[in-house]
A and B are shown apart, each in its own frame.
Chain A
Amino acid sequence: MEMKGLMKSLVLALVVAFVFTSCAKQPTQELNDTKAAIDAVVTEKGDIYAKDELKKLNDDMTAANDEIAAQSKKFFKKYGKAKEMLAKIKTDAEAVKGLIPARKEEAKNNALTAQTEAKAAVDEAKALLEKAPKGKGTKADIEAMKADLAGLETSLTEVQTAIDSEDYFGAKDKATTIKDKAVGISDQVKLAIEKVTGKKK
């Protein structure tokens, strides 16, 4: 009878130990879901449009991983806190992902506006060059500016390439530069025309 009691106690102890140690499994599913939510932010170019937010998500993820690692070393594992952390990160990631389209749209609109302005500036310079004297007697400066403008037109195609690859900030910067250069050429053409008309008088 005493032996039977001892066995019973031993089995019970083993069951209890098993419940406390093995049943507390790592939150693998939650971990994968959260990672996927962060990856979705990265795919949406969060590193460009939600840089600070993405950093926070990654930091929080590191903290959650630390918590999981700390619990996994314990005899009595408790993953409740880690699960809570992961759930919050996942919710945050989804919210951040939701922010990106509007930011992207804004950047895209800015790039498109800059592109339109650059194209208008190039067209204006081209129109001015058309007005400039042609053929023999054409001022050398005008010919040089035509070549410069051709270079700018080629650069303008790179703006579209940047827009197509969703590099809206890069596209905007390039377009602004082209616009500035084209305006510079227009000013020079005007000066050159003035020079010619001045001489004719």
Chain B
Amino acid sequence: MKTVTALSVACLMITTACGSGNGSSGTSTGNFAGNWQITLQRDQTDTLKTESGFLVQSGDVLTGSFLLTGDTNCAGIGSAQGQVSGSNVAISVSQIGQTLDFTGSLGSSEGSASGSYSILASPCGSTQVGTWTASQVQPLTGTLQVTFTSTGTSGVYQAAGKVTQAPNTGGSATKLSGSLTSTDAPCFNVASISGLISGTSVVFNLLSSEGVALGQLHGTTTAAATTITGLYDFLNTQPPPLNGCQDSGTAVVVVKG
């Protein structure tokens, strides 16, 4: 029986080691895996850029993709390669036209990081340096309570549902899926959600059960992924009685994990 017990323990150790698969780090290495929203402030200017996207961590090696937007001539996606050393990190984001180099470290508050960045002169612009701050955005998975406020009618109506964020594969965005139901919304009763999240940017594509596009909701989530604020619009093309229904306004989504 001792042999069986020993085998079971060994087996458990092997399966635990193999099954982790989430790229999480050891105890001495900072955890940079996940969805990040990074703000870049160019030195001696007020101009801001943002990088948003996902990092996968394997030991002390980071890979992923970021979407660069804001004050740049080369907005777009770059592949990220990085190295973690304790709580410190160095990441290069290679875009077409330029490479952004980040160095920094995890902050004192959980899910935060900061440091400095540099970009060499390239077709995208002149050499620049600056600082960056980043927030790790928690997975957007849970139940939803949505409050729609119509711009046209000032009417307020509710919807409830759920959303699930797909696994992190190191892309610049990750898929969202889910559903919404409402008893008082003018333009839909039931909608499926097919969407994306990149950093704090969220978009929901709202569709009927037949796959007809009903509307969209897009906004910004908090880093804790508990609240999304943004805009919505519906323009139904589905059969009566909701055909041609139009509505737009603001939306507040409360997410509970």
Q: Real complex partners, A and B? A: no
CB within 8 Å of A: which residues of B?
none
Interface residues, chain A, CB within 8 Å of chain B?
Answer: none
